[in-house]
Structure 1
């Protein structure tokens, strides 16, 4: 298969001859604009000819990045991802990606365009104009853009995913906050008498995510057997619209055992909730939410987080988030010698490596405990006699 390159202004054009059209007899060409030097253009030409020889024909298109992304949102995202994710993708694409890259031709999009896009977002990417986006947010934009271009390649619009050739910023790892036993008791004392005490109490004792706790119904709780089942989560969409959906993964859909004291606390909470329902003319049913307002309306996730931070800060626990109760649950269990597999199952992690990687700060203690345990076993079998 034949091809050549030619200079055009500050860029290069690579051209591949496709032969004659069998119907019209006209010569057909595949061309592509490349930014960079001659060597890069020659490399792109070789890659294009290889794709064509392997039967991967990229039909020339004048489609822009904006036109393609809107098509991707409509044809793929709208029917293949969950509502919360769909809303997130749509927002990120229209508020960040399209304004910066939308006018570029889809087949002319280069790694340099994307790299400059990331740099700009890090420097001044906030919608309110107050500085740049975090590295974590820009990394999220990278993943969305890369996923969209992966589909563009599958659909035959482009011959490669140029986002793969770009190094996204590395998200800065934030040290998780965990509480010790004294801080847990101090926190619970501060929440007593508030609407948020029961959910805070259960978060500490189960490690459930905020969305899982808010999605719990009384039919999902077996107080006699002291278990609860995670079968749905509560999320909010734009405008504060409450949305219930199944947990993301199979492992997230799980049963969690409760200590007798926790089951007793939940029973008391149910009795109090029943009285509050009756006072507002409502009736508690198996489908009623375990955590709700007195009229049965769901508690919004943002309200839980906001009030938690407010009360925690008031008692000197600055920087502690509601999600840190999940970390606290796992850390306290691991430090007490509970097997990581059990902790993984309680948290609903997809695999044990995720649990160990997330709570790697605990493993040094586990290593010391393991060494001491082995020493204890071996010393019982044969006392250490030292060197002769």
Structure 2
């Protein structure tokens, strides 16, 4: 039993120091002796009780002092390093470093509560970050804390019941037939016209078509094998560079049939490459055997294509202005993918087949995001319905 300075019994583990303050010692769940302090006997008893209760509450946690910064590094190394693409890991690190570390990085994992993460998300929202970005950060934090719970680093996930922010409609926009005709009329002299034709006739993603190689195209059977994608990213300590990675998802690994227009565009592009790069097996240029490259034979970046498409659209709008037509809005290569999907549905192609063309995991993605219903379609379909109704009425009259 401990005693005060006058020799009075204070209780197990409690003593009074020479400066008049009280201290209490107890053994925590790790077998370590810990000490708490208080000005009065009542204070020290309350503090001791609270510490013992808290220690019991955290009975299963491994390291009560590990910070979120420290756990994030472990989470990346143990749970992500060998299971996700390098570009995904770089995105995690960027999100954490730029949006989470300043607010929560130095805090202990087991002391981070729901109020703290709600405050973090609120700050991001207030600073006009995209809702999709905020939701990505939330998903990352949820997984970080789930893994921490599984490894007994904390007892609960503060991200539980954090509502996902409503994101703008992700539905893309396809070109109308008139816009499609205008664009391709003006893209004829563009160096990237063959690329534009290939995308709009296959629905390939930009990353897929920029990684497409000569060996991926079977001209005899008129098929394209989509088995990789490209991405520009900056590895730690390196400059931003071109990387070829596996497809976006397992369903993105697919074979797409070529129509004659697409086949000719790819053949024409290879002819262009042979002239520019003297493409052959022994040529050191274009070692990856990419079909679509820049004028100098380098891999194409997304910014390069956006710039080329902008020049085409500028020429379209000059003609439109001369004919008192509204200007065409700027768009990127993904709009051509949307256009392909929409044309497929215009022609009545089965949604499951369109799903296979696009490489979607779910047909709902194909139906909900990648197809547009234009006014001419609605008019055409209602007239078809009218014909069916008239036929029904005619037969009843007979």
TM-score of the pair, normalised by structure 2: 0.74
Superposition deviation, residue 313 in structure 1: 4.7
1:231·1:254 contact (CA, 8 Å) conserved in 2?
yes
1:64-86 Cα distance to aligned partner (Å, 9 max, x none): 22221122223333322101111
Match of 1:247 in 2: 247
Superposition deviation, residue 241 in structure 1: 1.0
Structure 2 CA distance for aligned equivalents of residues 186 and 339 of structure 1: 28
Question: Is 1:133 aligned with 2:129?
Answer: yes
2:351·2:363 contact (CA, 8 Å) conserved in 1?
yes
Question: Is 1:108 aligned with 2:106?
Answer: no
SS at 1:323's partner residue? helix
Match of 1:207 in 2: 203
Match of 1:222 in 2: 218
Superposition deviation, residue 149 in structure 1: 1.4
Question: Is 1:333 aligned with 2:344?
Answer: yes
Given candidates 125, 149, 152, the residue that maps to 2:148 is 152
Match of 2:278 in 1: 278
Given candidates 326, 338, 355, the residue that maps to 2:366 is 355
SS at 2:278's partner residue? helix
Structure 1 gap segments, 5+ residues each = 1-18, 28-44, 125-131
Question: Is 1:198 aligned with 2:194?
Answer: yes
Structure 2 gap segments, 5+ residues each = 1-26, 35-52, 317-326
Superposition deviation, residue 262 in structure 1: 2.0
Match of 2:396 in 1: 385
Match of 1:344 in 2: 355
1:249-306 Cα distance to aligned partner (Å, 9 max, x none): 2210111111123212222221122111129994789951010135532112221133
Higher relative contact order (CA 8 A, sep 6+): 2
Match of 1:92 in 2: 95
CA gap of 1:180–1:62, structure 2 versus 1, over 3 A, is same
Query: Is the radius of gyration larger for structure 1 or structure 2?
Result: 2
Structure 2 CA distance for aligned equivalents of residues 175 and 145 of structure 1: 27
TM alignment of 1:1-388, pairs within 5 A: 57-124=60-127, 132-238=128-234, 239-278=239-278, 282=283, 288-315=289-316, 316-359=327-370, 361-362=372-373, 369=381, 372=384, 376=388, 379=391, 384-385=395-396
RMSD between aligned alpha carbons?
Answer: 3.5
The total of aligned residue pairs comes to 336
1:166-211 Cα distance to aligned partner (Å, 9 max, x none): 2232212255221122211211222222222111111111100000
Superposition deviation, residue 248 in structure 1: 2.5
